[in-house]
Chain A
Amino acid sequence: MSGAKSTTLVGNIDAAQRTASAVGPALSVIVPLYNEQESVRPLYEAIVQALTGLGLSFEMVFVDDGSKDDTVAVAAGLARRDPRLRIVKFRRNYGQTAAMAAGIEHAQGEVLVTMDGDLQNDPADIPLLLAQIEAGFDVVVGWRHNRQDKLITRKIPSRIANWLIGKVTRVPIRDNGCSLKAFRASLIKRIPLYSEMHRFIPAMASIAGPRVAQIRVRHHARRFGESKYGLSRIYKVLLDLMVIKTIASFASRPLRWFALLSLPLFALACFAFVQTAVDVLLGGEQAFSLPIAGAGIIFFSSGLILLCSGALAELIYARGDVRDREFLKLTQTILAGPRNPEADRAL
């Protein structure tokens, strides 16, 4: 970061070009942008400033999520002067998860760093994330320890959500909402990202069992524009959490998950049947209660249908093309034993 800025910049461009022609750069910075025309230039400058002088080749992938303002024009102006900047322009607005997924797909670096386009993350933290990746972690998650947002509408709901996500997924991450994260590209490129999973990228990545590190990062108050999130997300987060749980814990054995869900039904059915049997034994043919016996039958048959759904889910998994065995290869290490070049080959 020291020294004459212009010369370092030119030198780095040459280096980047040389490496880019052979293999990808060492680092890709992915930034989804949606109506951020004021932020684009300062953001670009901050990233370049933070990364120049680290002695590694890098590229920037700006994903324009169908902005309605001049974001693309401003970014294209920057790209004309810098070959390290790539802009992926969406045809319309697809949401932040899609923007992240597109950025990850179009990035060529070995390490991918994602961050917000609204200048609330500080690119100067990127070297800290990189140090953790070099230390052997697969995923590094930023944690905004002095978050500059409204307490009631943003911080408290997010704290509850993070606690809940940690409990359910058993990946205790303090701040899932922080976009500043670093990933080993070989890992994250294999993790399916869709729907509105950007909040859950570490949880989704947990299906591959990555080594996850968390570090404190800076967080600035918004300088331009409006916050694009609101409070009305609780219901969606809860459902998404259910999805993550289904996928992360039970995708390869869905019958167990459905059996677990059907247990209370069978318990209720059992209770109703025992009650009916006792009534009949003590009071004879006419003494039992029809509603209770009926409810028992309903619970029992419903439990049965849930089990059938579980069997169907097994079929779906068996016929699908996403399997556990590819995820485990992303993070496994061979501690001892003879080398098997066939198995060692990267996916």
Chain B
Amino acid sequence: MKPHAVPPSISVIVPVGARRAADIGALYREYRTGIAATGAAHEFIFVLDGPRPEARRALEALLREGEEFTIVNLTRNFGEAAALTAGFERASGGTIVTLPAYPQIEPGDIRKLLAGLSTADMTIGYRWPRYGNALDRMRRSAFHGLVNFVTGARLRDLGCGVRAMHRKVLEEIDLYGDQHRFLPILAMRLGFRVNEVPVRQSAQDRHGRIYRPREYMHHLLDLFSIFFLMRFTKKPLRFFGMLGAATFGVGAVLIAYLGLDRLLFSEPLADRPALLLAALLLVLGMQVFALGLLGELIIFTHARGLKDYRVEEIIQYPEAAAVSDSGSDSLPGESTTSPEMRASAPPAVIA
């Protein structure tokens, strides 16, 4: 990659996976026009997630035409979250924009997201008005309703791959697996402000996609893992203990009932299959509880690297003694932010 005349202030990362536009060159030109409208220096980074010979040929043709961008080629399909991370490692801009490799929004609206960054740490696209039939709408609102219920967020379009964020957001988030969809939620969890910005949906995004049952299941499992990570990372026993105690409790009640029946009404215990159920519930409860203890042990033995909190700033005035009490009341925004601050916010984050 040729050195830029001006260091780019915006880095655009485009993860190219299985789902991508037929003509990636045309998409790139549209995106470039959209970004160039902001007037800021920018760079493009395409991350090919696994061997994508077609896309690679198209991009290399663009390079020969004199376009400037970076191509990162991953040897196998690592998933979109990994692709974003790989792209981010190459990014030098203070603002990071992620764009999908297929048209989702009108590229002219990208600047709306960038403008939104003045009041937020991260802005995500919200396709509106949205096309699609009643079934699509229902599916979407059911998914987002569930996500919002579980995470306490208020988001309406997690499927939109158009996001803009300050560099520090990605520095702190440790993405893996399929968590890219929940990037805004992970950011919120770290205390960043996330805003949705309505953007026009691209005309080519209008045809409805048919979701296979497997995708539904993956979404649900992803949601469960996010839920678990958000609520119980530092206290696994709260989760396993609740499940275990409930199961154990049901088993104990059943056993007590059988025992009383035996003692008071001489109902023989030996030929009641319910005894088996009670025994199963009891031991299942204990096993789940023991899993929780294992989880706690994992947390404890790795507690050195754990940090529950994120420090926004440290306010201290080392030369305050020199300032007399008669000094004018200036704003607290003047605070000196010591280098400690950066040290206390490491890039690696235990989600």
**A contact set with B: CB distance below 8 Å:** 10, 13-14, 17, 66, 72-73, 75-77, 79-83, 85-92, 94-95, 97-99, 101-102, 105-106, 192, 194-196, 236, 239-240, 242-243, 246-247, 251, 254, 257-258, 261, 265, 289-292, 294-295, 298-299, 302, 305-306, 309, 312-313, 316-317, 319-322
- What's the minimum C-beta distance from A141 to chain B, rounded to whole angstroms? 22
Q: Is the beta-carbon distance between A101 and B323 smaller than 8 angstroms?
A: no
User: Chain A residue with minimal CB distance to B274?
Assistant: A291
Q: Say whether, besides A79-B315, A321-B302, A291 and B309 are in contact (CB < 8 Å).
A: no
Contacts of B290 in A (CB 8 A): 258, 261, 306, 309
Q: Say whether, besides A106-B340, A291-B271, A90 and B191 are in contact (CB < 8 Å).
A: yes
Contacts of A72 in B (CB 8 A): 315, 332
Partner of A91 from the list B293, B310, B317 (CB cut-off 8 Å) is: B310
B250 at the interface (CB under 8 A from A): no
Q: Say whether, besides A83-B321, A90-B310, A309 and B291 are in contact (CB < 8 Å).
A: yes
Contacts of A195 in B (CB 8 A): 234-235, 299, 308
User: Chain A residue with minimal CB distance to B324?
Assistant: A81
List 16 A–B pairs whose Cβ atoms lie within 8 Å, in order of A's numbering.
Answer: A80-B317, A81-B323, A82-B320, A89-B314, A90-B310, A192-B306, A194-B303, A246-B296, A251-B300, A258-B290, A291-B271, A291-B272, A302-B286, A316-B298, A320-B302, A322-B304
Partner of A239 from the list B241, B278, B306 (CB cut-off 8 Å) is: B241
Q: Is the beta-carbon distance between B332 and A295 smaller than 8 angstroms?
A: no
Which of A80, A106, A257, A320 has most chain B Cβ within 10 Å?
A80
Q: Is the beta-carbon distance between A66 and B191 smaller than 8 angstroms?
A: yes
Question: How long is the Cα–Cα vector from A246 to B301 in the complex, in angstroms?
Answer: 12
Question: How long is the Cα–Cα vector from A237 to B321 in the complex, in angstroms?
Answer: 45
Question: How long is the Cα–Cα vector from A257 to B290 in the complex, in angstroms?
Answer: 10
Taking CB atoms and an 8 Å cut-off, the chain B residues in 262-287 that contact chain A are 269-276, 278-280, 283, 286-287
**B contact set with A: CB distance below 8 Å:** 190-192, 234-235, 237-238, 241, 269-276, 278-280, 283, 286-287, 290-291, 293-294, 296-306, 308-321, 323, 325, 327, 329-330, 332, 335, 340, 344
- What's the minimum C-beta distance from B306 to chain A, rounded to whole angstroms? 5
Q: Is the beta-carbon distance between B317 and A90 smaller than 8 angstroms?
A: no
User: Chain A residue with minimal CB distance to B313?
Assistant: A89
Q: Is the beta-carbon distance between A322 and B286 smaller than 8 angstroms?
A: no
Contacts of A105 in B (CB 8 A): 344
Which of B190, B192, B274, B299 has most chain A Cβ within 10 Å?
B299
Contacts of B235 in A (CB 8 A): 195-196, 239-240, 243
7 closest A-B pairs (Cβ-Cβ)?
A: A320-B301, A91-B191, A192-B303, A289-B270, A302-B283, A92-B191, A76-B332
Q: Is the beta-carbon distance between A89 and B234 smaller than 8 angstroms?
A: no
- What's the minimum C-beta distance from A75 to chain B, rounded to whole angstroms? 8
- What's the minimum C-beta distance from B287 to chain A, rounded to whole angstroms? 6
- What's the minimum C-beta distance from A143 to chain B, rounded to whole angstroms? 27
Question: How long is the Cα–Cα vector from A254 to B279 in the complex, in angstroms?
Answer: 25
Q: Is the beta-carbon distance between B301 and A90 smaller than 8 angstroms?
A: no
Contacts of A89 in B (CB 8 A): 311-315
Q: Say whether, besides A106-B344, A246-B293, A251 and B286 are in contact (CB < 8 Å).
A: no
Q: Is the interface of A mostly helix, strand, loop or mixed?
A: helix
Question: How long is the Cα–Cα vector from A292 to B258 in the complex, in angstroms?
Answer: 13
Contacts of B317 in A (CB 8 A): 79-80, 82-83
User: Chain B residue with minimal CB distance to A289?
Assistant: B270
Partner of A80 from the list B296, B311, B327 (CB cut-off 8 Å) is: B327
Contacts of A90 in B (CB 8 A): 191, 309-312
- What's the minimum C-beta distance from A204 to chain B, rounded to whole angstroms? 10
Q: Is the beta-carbon distance between B297 and A254 smaller than 8 angstroms?
A: yes
Partner of A291 from the list B273, B304, B311, B312 (CB cut-off 8 Å) is: B273
Q: Say whether, besides A192-B300, A242-B293, A102 and B309 are in contact (CB < 8 Å).
A: yes
Question: How long is the Cα–Cα vector from A246 to B297 in the complex, in angstroms?
Answer: 8
Q: Is the beta-carbon distance between B313 and A81 smaller than 8 angstroms?
A: no
Question: How long is the Cα–Cα vector from A76 to B278 in the complex, in angstroms?
Answer: 60
Question: How long is the Cα–Cα vector from A213 to B211 in the complex, in angstroms?
Answer: 64
Q: Is the beta-carbon distance between A106 and B297 smaller than 8 angstroms?
A: no
Q: Is the beta-carbon distance between B318 and A83 smaller than 8 angstroms?
A: yes
Q: Is the beta-carbon distance between B237 and A94 smaller than 8 angstroms?
A: no
User: Chain A residue with minimal CB distance to B240?
Assistant: A239
Q: Is the beta-carbon distance between B314 and A194 smaller than 8 angstroms?
A: no
Q: Is the beta-carbon distance between A94 and B309 smaller than 8 angstroms?
A: yes
Question: How long is the Cα–Cα vector from A290 to B274 in the complex, in angstroms?
Answer: 11
Contacts of B329 in A (CB 8 A): 77
Which of A90, A91, A294, A317 has most chain B Cβ within 10 Å?
A91
User: Chain B residue with minimal CB distance to A326?
Assistant: B304
Contacts of A319 in B (CB 8 A): 301
- What's the minimum C-beta distance from B284 to chain A, rounded to whole angstroms? 8
Contacts of A309 in B (CB 8 A): 287, 290-291, 293-294
Question: How long is the Cα–Cα vector from A305 to B285 in the complex, in angstroms?
Answer: 13
Question: How long is the Cα–Cα vector from A66 to B308 in the complex, in angstroms?
Answer: 13
Q: Is the beta-carbon distance between B279 and A299 smaller than 8 angstroms?
A: yes
Give 6 new A-B contacts, CB below 8 A, not counting A192-B303, A321-B304.
A17-B318, A73-B332, A80-B320, A97-B308, A196-B235, A309-B293
Contacts of A254 in B (CB 8 A): 297
- What's the minimum C-beta distance from A41 to chain B, rounded to whole angstroms? 14
- What's the minimum C-beta distance from A51 to chain B, rounded to whole angstroms? 16
Q: Is the beta-carbon distance between B237 and A239 smaller than 8 angstroms?
A: yes
Contacts of A298 in B (CB 8 A): 276, 279-280, 283
Contacts of B294 in A (CB 8 A): 309, 312-313, 316
Question: How long is the Cα–Cα vector from A302 to B279 in the complex, in angstroms?
Answer: 10
Which of A246, A261, A319 has most chain B Cβ within 10 Å?
A246
